[in-house]
Structure 1
């Protein structure tokens, strides 16, 4: 394994493209550089004592996304039988080690998390959650999430064996904060929502198809997609002469529910653009909640492409 910031990591290199991945730190994609330029941001001073809290890379969000509340208490969810369990912010996957397997050609890596004693208290289901990162070429990255309910199918399966979930990504795209006013986010047709302090979600309102990144209204905005996207999500950064496209229309993929935009502060040199399969607290609201039958697998795929702006 390669060494990075004093940690064992996996490096995937293809031409001028380099991915860094830390399987032991939540299966985290740390960074992506193309010809030395950062596409996915990772801080130079990352605190590896709490890697799940580092502002960078791509934390994997599973089994649920964002914050959940029961009777006003944060960090809890209620199942169909009325049992209340704990769930950390963005789920537990980003806190746990993944198994890793590099592909035979060396162009990709498969990361796998399965249920264990550590997961069953808060999420009493048998599962396999996999993330695949694959460099198609030096400017194109395919990303797949595969979720399987590994409970035995057949006559012995019960209604309680159905598994709820909604997974997602938390891509930290590199964007110098001084360039936000000149940089834009383009989206397919959408309506937007926000999560309120009590955990509920606002009613949908018509969303625009283009925003500037200095628009404070899009911090923590849930851009809910309406039907199959007719166009990719597109980030344009003219000062860097760079465009990044996220294609959410990949063959065989289940539909993405929303794209969330978020950043930490006005002077953060990143902006997160996050494809999600459901909304925060979907286990209670049903907004994007998915169910897997015993033995069933679903795949959610996307493609990220980097190009040069003229």
Structure 2
């Protein structure tokens, strides 16, 4: 395990990666959360001034990591449960457990990149009875950031997973109408109360972020996956169709309320409840690993 230098942020020792005006602040001990991403002096992510670090998984901000399953899963209408092939029901919280658990810093270059690792433990096996190694690799680029979610199966049985991101982008709520999201060909879906995805409609090529059709909505890629977020002063291009990456199934759009000064655009490997309906569900054979890679490129 590496012990990189830390700096104080809201009373927490966070790891800093990068240069003077382009850097990351990360909390390995709190779900490997990316807390701040400063690009050429600008904070690109939202983080609340009065964050409650006693419950970091509940903080709205940064980039929580969603693993092993994103979203809500249901058994017979009860959320937070999933049923395996043998019929056994397991309890697993929404978005999984990674955002609640400490990661170790397994590799670091304080100028450019960090790898943080979560392994199975008693805390994970109760609701997800598999051996796994889950790595997140953050690598700064001259014009942005590359993030790799790598899942390895060191165990004897097939491993189901569909991880994802939950980026909280800083956007004053008064600017929502002036911001937009451009997408390739997609189907637009939402999750029904029983967990299943439904109501597929053809997605638009561009949405303004105050469009109510975006709230808590999955945009399933029908072609090469990508997205571009345009906000006053900057554009963010999501490069999701990268060689060697597991396929990104969708991006999800969400904000907590019309008055929230953040907007979430979340690349997901699968859809919520995929363990039951299969849309985006990944299976890793014993000894196999795979990576879901996204690049976020920033332009003025």
- Whether 2:54 is the aligned partner of 1:49: answer yes
Question: 8 Å contact 2:240–2:294 — kept in the other structure?
Answer: yes
1: distance between equivalents of 2:75 and 2:246?
A: 29
Q: Aligned match of 1:246 in 238, 260, 285?
A: 238
Who is 1:154 aligned against?
none
Question: 8 Å contact 1:52–1:59 — kept in the other structure?
Answer: yes
Who is 1:132 aligned against?
137
Q: Aligned match of 1:58 in 60, 63, 68?
A: 63
Q: Which runs of 5+ in 1 are unaligned?
A: 152-156
- Whether 2:273 is the aligned partner of 1:269: answer no
1:192-231 matches, cutoff 5 A = 192-229=188-225
Which moves more between the two structures, 89-98 or 6-15?
A: 6-15
Who is 1:237 aligned against?
231
In the superposition, the TM-score normalised over structure 1's length comes to: 0.93
2: distance between equivalents of 1:304 and 1:14?
A: 18
- Whether 2:30 is the aligned partner of 1:25: answer yes
Q: Aligned match of 1:182 in 178, 182, 187?
A: 178
Per-residue CA deviations over 1:287-309 (Å, capped at 9, x if unaligned) read 1111000000001101111111x
Per-residue CA deviations over 1:103-124 (Å, capped at 9, x if unaligned) read 3463111010000111111111
2: distance between equivalents of 1:133 and 1:68?
A: 28
User: Runs of 4 or more off by more than 2 Å in structure 1?
Assistant: 101-106
- Whether 2:149 is the aligned partner of 1:145: answer yes
Who is 2:277 aligned against?
285
Q: What secondary structure, in the 3-state scheme, does the structure 2 residue paired with 1:278 have?
A: coil
2: distance between equivalents of 1:39 and 1:22?
A: 17
Who is 2:249 aligned against?
257
Who is 2:3 aligned against?
none
1: distance between equivalents of 2:125 and 2:223?
A: 34
2: distance between equivalents of 1:142 and 1:78?
A: 34
Question: 8 Å contact 1:65–1:168 — kept in the other structure?
Answer: yes
Question: 8 Å contact 1:24–1:98 — kept in the other structure?
Answer: yes
Question: 8 Å contact 1:257–1:288 — kept in the other structure?
Answer: yes
Across the two proteins, how many residue pairs are aligned to each other?
295
Question: 8 Å contact 1:32–1:41 — kept in the other structure?
Answer: no
Q: CA deviation at 1:15?
A: 4.8
Question: 8 Å contact 2:163–2:268 — kept in the other structure?
Answer: yes
Q: CA deviation at 1:34?
A: 1.6
2: distance between equivalents of 1:105 and 1:218?
A: 37
Which moves more between the two structures, 248-257 or 258-267?
A: 248-257
Q: CA deviation at 1:14?
A: 2.6
Per-residue CA deviations over 1:140-183 (Å, capped at 9, x if unaligned) read 111001000111xxxxx5xxx10111000000011110000111
In angstroms, what is the RMSD of aligned CA positions? Answer: 1.1
Who is 2:13 aligned against?
8
Q: CA deviation at 1:198?
A: 2.1
1: distance between equivalents of 2:70 and 2:113?
A: 25
1: distance between equivalents of 2:106 and 2:41?
A: 25
1: distance between equivalents of 2:277 and 2:28?
A: 32
2: distance between equivalents of 1:86 and 1:105?
A: 38
Q: Which runs of 5+ in 2 are unaligned?
A: 1-5
- Whether 2:292 is the aligned partner of 1:300: answer yes
Who is 2:103 aligned against?
98
Q: In 2 relative to 1, CA 104–31 (structure 1 residues): closer, same or farther, beyond 3 Å?
A: closer
